[in-house]
Amino acid sequence: MKKRVIILGSTGSIGQNTLDVLAALTKEWDVVGLAAGSRSVELAQQANAWRPEAIALTNTEAGRSLHDALDYAPNVHTGNHALYKLVNETDCDCVISAVVGTDGLPATLRAVELGRRLALANKEALVIAGSLMMPLAKETGATIIPVDSEHSAIFQALHTGKAEEVTRVVLTASGGPFRTWSIEDMAKASLKDALAHPTWDMGPKISIDSATMMNKALEIIEAHWLFDLDPNKIEVVIHPESIIHSMVEFCDGSVMAQLGAPDMRTPIQYALTYPARKKGPARRLDLTASITLRLEVPDETRFPALALGHEVAHRGGTAGAVLNAANEAAVQLFRDARIRFTDITTLTQQALQDHCFVADPTMQDILEADRWARTEVTRCTTC
């Protein structure tokens, strides 16, 4: 019997790469649900090609034009709860969570509640609500498999030893487009500069997160929750070639690394086929060419966002929700040309410092902290 998969965020960078992977796995997988935010034309085109039984679009206005663009009659969900309804009402084996930002949280949590396999790209969901999501997965038996390339690498390397034998986990970071820039130059950086990632082709929000290195801070927190790791055991190194996707060091001194071309189709496919491996469309490393693999110590003075990852992983509670929401709001302000590039991290740091911390939060506390941080960041830029 074919397995059934829902893709949340199908029109985005991860979503499109997922469909590319699934095109080579049509004998094993049926796409039964596709979901996006507002790009109705792209969603309808994907639906017409893949024929899922249900689709979802959050933006109600854009949703009105969906029916006209469809050449068959799937169940259509629109509005704020559309993705949640799609996951709730469509039977499936696996949910690919690839929405960007906090908006992916309710549907992602519902997939965990229903005990589905969750292929998780939406790292923000774990950063915000890892304290609720991981125990819930244990309770329902949901398997969470990382799509993020670093976490996929760690997930694979961890299989070579026992949890108590791990001495440290080393997340690699490309360093982004500003790896060699001064703080003064970064303060003047344009949106185009920030979006010009040297090794990965990704959506705009994560590209800007990579430029500030906030992405690595989010990934420290993601690794902490996913693998139940003490934050002190998580380190970051700069690896400009993006070939070593991350490493795990064991107590005997062995370091297990996963290597590959910088192509998200590899970790996406592994999240779908695990524990099996299949031939797929991802680019290969040319191991006959001479390859240089550099490792550099990150510079926390030029990239202060990095330190926030450890701080928030240690604090737990509502700190993750505040970090994530403040960063999302600040990234949007930068995209709207209302703040400088370097203000993104400053505003996020300020929100973290000022917020009313809750150590053992409920979902209500988390959503409240998220709302507060967004308002606070916007208020700080207008006062």
- Give residues in contact with ligand NDP (CB under 6 A): 9-15, 35-39, 58, 83, 98-100, 103, 121-124, 148, 200, 202-206, 264
Nearer to Mg ion, 176 or 304 (CB): 176
Residue in the shown chain whose Cβ atom is closest to ligand NDP: 12
Spell out the residues 6+ positions from residue 195 whose beta carbon is closer than 8 angstroms to its own: 177, 204, 207, 208, 211
Of the candidates 69, 6, 80, which has an alpha carbon nearest to the alpha carbon of residue 37?
Answer: 80
Binding mask 136-155 for Mg ion (x = CB under 5 A): ------------x-x-----
Of the candidates 132, 72, 73, 141, which has an alpha carbon nearest to the alpha carbon of residue 106?
Answer: 132
Shortest distance in whole angstroms from residue 43 CB to ligand NDP: 7
Binding mask 148-187 for Mg ion (x = CB under 5 A): x-x-------------------------------------
Query: Distances in Å between the alpha carbon of 237 and those of 8, 143, 185, 312?
Result: 31, 28, 23, 19
Shortest distance in whole angstroms from residue 283 CB to ligand NDP: 14
The partner in contact with residue 9, picked from ligand NDP, Mg ion, none with C-beta cut-offs of 5 to 8 angstroms by kind, is: ligand NDP
Of the candidates 229, 231, 93, 238, which has an alpha carbon nearest to the alpha carbon of residue 178?
Answer: 238
The partner in contact with residue 83, picked from Mg ion, ligand NDP, none with C-beta cut-offs of 5 to 8 angstroms by kind, is: ligand NDP
Shortest distance in whole angstroms from residue 219 CB to Mg ion: 6
> Which DSSP letter does residue 5 get?
E
For the chain, how far is it from start to end, CA to CA, in angstroms?
60
By CB atoms closer than 10 A (0-12, 13-18, 19+), residue 75 is middle
Shortest distance in whole angstroms from residue 372 CB to Mg ion: 27
Please count the residues of this chain forming the interface with Mg ion, following the rule CB under 5 A.
2
Q: Does 222 bind Mg ion (CB under 5 A)?
A: no
Q: Beta-strand (E) ranges in 20-143?
A: 29-36, 54-57, 75-78, 94-97, 117-120
Shortest distance in whole angstroms from residue 185 CB to ligand NDP: 25
The partner in contact with residue 268, picked from Mg ion, ligand NDP, none with C-beta cut-offs of 5 to 8 angstroms by kind, is: none
The helix (H) or strand (E) run that includes residue 142 is none
Nearer to Mg ion, 262 or 280 (CB): 262
The partner in contact with residue 103, picked from ligand NDP, Mg ion, none with C-beta cut-offs of 5 to 8 angstroms by kind, is: ligand NDP
Shortest distance in whole angstroms from residue 59 CB to ligand NDP: 7
Nearer to ligand NDP, 54 or 380 (CB): 54
Shortest distance in whole angstroms from residue 357 CB to ligand NDP: 25
How crowded is residue 24: how many other Cβ atoms within 10 Å of its Cβ? 16
Strand partners of residue 4? 30
Spell out the residues 6+ positions from residue 225 whose beta carbon is closer than 8 angstroms to its own: 126, 130, 131, 133, 134
